[in-house]
Structure 1
Amino acid sequence: MVVRDTPWPEGTPSWVDVMVPDTQRAAAFYSGLFGWQPEDQGEEYGHYQIASLEGKSVAAIGPKMPGMEGVPSTWTTYLSVADVDKTAAKITEAGGQLMMPPGDVGDAGRMAVAADPAGAVFGLWQAREMIGIQLAGIPGTLVWNECMTRDFDGAKAFYAEVFGYRVQDMSGEGFRYVTLNLNDRPIGGLGAIPEQMPAETPSHWAVYFGVSDTDAAAARIQELGGSVLSDPQDTPYGRMAQVTDDQGVPFSVISVSGE
């Protein structure tokens, strides 16, 4: 379990949110699955809902912006930075692009949304009053973030140049994967999209939420109207499954302890 009340280190995934057509439906789904308690931030913030668990912020749900109705909904990973504007400049210099330029979010912080050269979208978060995630690593909270890419070598070079990550190779037969490390500590992963995946699968950042029982969580997801994309399977890091919510947004669940 990780409890935090100060800004996350530079380059660390510090927030996740999902933009969906129906926020109330999403709030009901994730509350039913994880026990989240979403709180509407009001009209000033576009009725963005910050979800908490045990009184600490863990994620958010927001409405799709005008003009984005046809764009598939996804979970977005935000990386912590000390200066959004400087990091945004580094992203463009390294061949990425800005999808949303740096801007203030009231007194909460400053943010931007970018894409790496292969098209994987991620956010930047410069904390002020809101640090982002306050609770992680237990059931109902964020456990892992990874970028799955169609340009494995290019992505490694891009993220190392922009965020200073050092990589540790975890590749094996039939797959290419590295952890992204800061101070010799893994903060996320980077993998090559497997050849068997459909050609239209784009480079993307993926999120993993913890559960106490993956099989029970998969069953609950289906009860709530979601889908199981890959049946629960054991891995060296916990039993996991790839799933979607009841609006088709993909994510993964993985078993973790409650401590």
Structure 2
Amino acid sequence: MAGEIPLGAPIWVDSTTPDLAGDTAFYAGLFGWSARDYGEEFGHYTELLLGGDGDEGRSVAGIVPGEAPGRWHLSFHVADCEAAAARAEKLGGAVVEAPAEVGGDMKFAMLADPNGAEFGLLQPIGEGPGFKAYQEPRAASWFEYNYDGVPAEAMRFYADLLGWSVVVPPWTDPKDPRPYAALSAEGGKGEFGG
């Protein structure tokens, strides 16, 4: 599945939480997800799965112990994590965690956009990590960015960095000074958020 996710599109989402057991149980009850804890070696990073907790389970998200308040982090698919992080800095973003190889199956960096919103860049290595269930019931399917201003202006950074198409949908009120913007990867294919 990760190989089918277009470059620039969301490829993974995970959450930090001060209550790993409680939050894992909450999402299991809400969505029917199961969990696979990778143990102390990986900081008890827990993969959330759709369709079972064995090999039949398909990855939908991750959750890991962290400080309060818990937060969700979205990562985007890139071909070259180092090059994308360097480009993000040139575009006005900041590197929060430098690109590094993780677990032998990905390169990852955490960045902040010019408005301070944090996001990840993820370059799979081989089969690599990423959504194994995506845009289907009980899996991640739509992502929103909240901005107090004109959304298309805030999205220029991502369009330049990740090749997004940012379009004001025809159903948006033309008199609205801050119209909604729809986001898609690869030249308008694969709409994933707004």
Q: The TM-score by the shorter chain falls in which range?
A: 0.7 to 0.9
Cα pair 2:152 2:166 within 8 Å, conserved: no
Comparing 145-154 with 72-81, greater Cα deviation is found at 145-154
Kindly, what percent of the aligned residue pairs are identical?
A: 37
Distance (Å, rounded) in 2 between the aligned partners of 1:189 and 1:53 = 21
Q: 1:97 to 1:11 in 2, by over 3 A?
A: same
Distance (Å, rounded) in 1 between the aligned partners of 2:152 and 2:183 = 13
TM-score (normalizing by structure 1)? 0.66
Distance (Å, rounded) in 1 between the aligned partners of 2:26 and 2:193 = 27
Q: Which amino acid aligns with 1:176?
A: P
Q: 1:112 to 1:73 in 2, by over 3 A?
A: same
Distance (Å, rounded) in 1 between the aligned partners of 2:145 and 2:90 = 20
Q: Which amino acid aligns with 1:97?
A: A
Q: Tell me, which stretches of 5 or more residues in structure 2 are unaligned? A: 52-56
CA distances 1:21-73 after superposition (whole Å, capped 9, x unpaired): 01111110000111111100111110000011121111011011xxxx35x32
Which structure 1 residue ranges, 4+ long, deviate > 6 Å from structure 2? none
Q: Which amino acid aligns with 1:159?
A: Y
Cα pair 1:110 1:125 within 8 Å, conserved: yes
Equivalence for 1:189: 193
Q: Which amino acid aligns with 1:49?
A: T
Choose from 128, 131, 152 the match for 2:129: 131
Equivalence for 2:54: none
Distance (Å, rounded) in 1 between the aligned partners of 2:88 and 2:187 = 21
> Which one scores higher on RCO, CA 8 angstroms, separation ≥ 6?
2
Report the 3-state secondary structure (helix = DSSP H, G, I; strand = E; otherwise coil) of the residue aligned with 2:114: coil
- Is 1:166 matched up with 2:165? yes
Cα pair 1:116 1:155 within 8 Å, conserved: no
CA distances 1:69-120 after superposition (whole Å, capped 9, x unpaired): 35x3221111011111000001100001111111111112110111110111
Report the 3-state secondary structure (helix = DSSP H, G, I; strand = E; otherwise coil) of the residue aligned with 1:47: coil
Decide which structure has greater strand share. 1
TM-score (normalizing by structure 2)? 0.86
Q: Tell me, which stretches of 5 or more residues in structure 1 are unaligned? A: 191-259
Q: Which amino acid aligns with 2:157?
A: F
CA distances 1:166-194 after superposition (whole Å, capped 9, x unpaired): 2211232545211122232243334xxxx
Distance (Å, rounded) in 2 between the aligned partners of 1:47 and 1:7 = 28
